[in-house]
Amino acid sequence: MTLPPDLERDLQTSVRQARLVALTCCYIAPAMYLLSVGSSALRGRWRLFLGGFGQLPWADPRVPGALALAAAALLLAWLLPPRLGRRARGRAALGALRGRNLLTCALLVLVAVSGLFLGVKLGPPAASLSLVLFLAPMAAGLARFPGTARWRQALERSPAGEPR
């Protein structure tokens, strides 16, 4: 089933916007955080990112706190958005998909911010954990975001003449 031209245009615009938001939150922001931690907290000693977790001060309350925040954000990014706007149809479905995409991106960038916090506050001992927290949104972004086909399916399920 083909969509009316105005709805097809809205679909393509929404998909482009969603991809831009996902690119910014899941890839560009974590990459900038990685560069910031590597150049400032690690003073350009990039190999420290691969040093392992042996020096990580697990007793410091910031470590389990940041990990709990990152884990909760990842879990919510995975479980919460699919449950929002399930019954929406037509343009409302498109709006629901945009909202879910934005919520997922916000939660995933929170994971990277947790890595930034640990990298800046704890420096070299937390470098490997920071790296993991920078890479997690990138991996989740690849697995989590719907493609154009899924957005199109949400629109095709509804009557074409539904009001905006």
The pLDDT score that the predictor gives to residue 160 is 47
Burial class (CB in 10 A: 0-12, 13-18, 19+), 64: exposed
Question: Per-residue pLDDT for 134 more than 80?
Answer: yes
Residue 36 has pLDDT above 60, yes or no: yes
Q: Which of 7-16, 75-84, 147-156 has the lowest mean pLDDT?
A: 147-156
Whether the predicted pLDDT of 120 surpasses 90: yes
| Predicted pLDDT at 107 | 95
Q: What is the DSSP track for 68-118?
A: HHHHHHHHHHHHSGGGTTTT--HHHHHHHHHHHHHHHHHHHHHHHHHHHHH
Residue predicted with more confidence, 38 or 157 = 38
- Across the range 70-81, mean pLDDT stands at 92
Question: Is the torsion defined by CA of 39, 138, 115, 127 positive or negative?
Answer: negative
163 pLDDT above the threshold of 80? no
pLDDT of residue 86: 64
